[in-house]
Amino acid sequence: MTFHARLALAAPFALALAACGETTDVDERVVETPELETPTDVTLPEVEVEYPEVPVNARTTVDYAGTYELRTRDDQVSTITLREDDTYVWRAPDGTETSGSFTWGDDESRILIEREGETQAYAVAENVLYRLPAADAPTAGERSEETTWRRSDPAPAADDQAGPAQ
């Protein structure tokens, strides 16, 4: 067989083999996707937190009798109820209560509570108590929600003022 004859026989055979190979179809469909919106910066409004000033002689200028609460970040609540007869009831987040008498500081703008073997000082302002780091700490200065007890009830009724629950 001559070269040309061999080529003539081999050519169809080579084309048949090539046709058996894998081919990939191109999917020409167009898929529409919604356009993505650019993220928008969310600016929350600033909330002005009110911290009333501690007046000179809060004992006679502030209606201090009532219940104050302190909420922690994990939503635990402690309360202090102050009475006009200088007694208090302290309720811990677990519901336990302690009661006793409080004294007024020399400036008449802070109260001192003996609790769990230590003296705790609070500056008294309209509808708030500010926990002070020490009995002689200034009543003015930086305030935070972690040390601010906010009034939750009005003053106790006159018949509740007979004395602390023991």
The answer, yes or no, to whether residue 124 has pLDDT greater than 70, is yes
Q: Is residue 113 part of a domain?
A: yes
Whether pTM > 0.75 for this model: the answer is: no
Averaged pLDDT, 131-159:
82
- pLDDT at residue number 2: 62
- pLDDT at residue number 121: 96
List Cβ neighbours of 101 (8 Å cut-off, separation of 6 or more). Answer: 86, 87, 88, 164
Q: Is 75 left (phi over 0), alpha (psi -120 to 50) or beta?
A: left
Least confident of 45-49, 75-79, 122-126, 156-160: 156-160
Number of H helices, E strands in the chain: 2, 8
Cα distance between residue 33 and residue 64, in whole Å: 63
Q: Is residue 32 part of a domain?
A: no
- pLDDT at residue number 19: 58
Averaged pLDDT, 36-44:
74
Q: Considering its fold, how many domains does the chain have in total?
A: 1
Q: Is residue 98 part of a domain?
A: yes
Q: The domain that contains 144 carries what CATH number?
A: 2.40.128.640
**Per-residue pLDDT tens digits for 151-162:** 997 654 444 444
Q: Is residue 25 part of a domain?
A: no
Q: Is residue 142 part of a domain?
A: yes
Q: Is residue 33 part of a domain?
A: no
147 closest CA partner among 120, 118, 109, 166: 120
SS (H, E, C) 86-148: CEEEEECCCCCEEEEEEEECCCCCEEEEEECCEEEEEEEECCEEEEECCCCCCCCCCCCHHHE
If pLDDT is split at 50, 70 and 90, which confidence band does 43 have?
A: confident
**Per-residue pLDDT tens digits for 81-97:** 999 999 999 999 999 99
Structural domain containing residue 123? 58-155
- pLDDT at residue number 165: 43
CB pairs under 8 A, 24+ apart, for 91-95? none
The answer, yes or no, to whether residue 7 has pLDDT greater than 80, is no
If pLDDT is split at 50, 70 and 90, which confidence band does 77 have?
A: very high
Q: Is residue 103 part of a domain?
A: yes
- pLDDT at residue number 158: 46
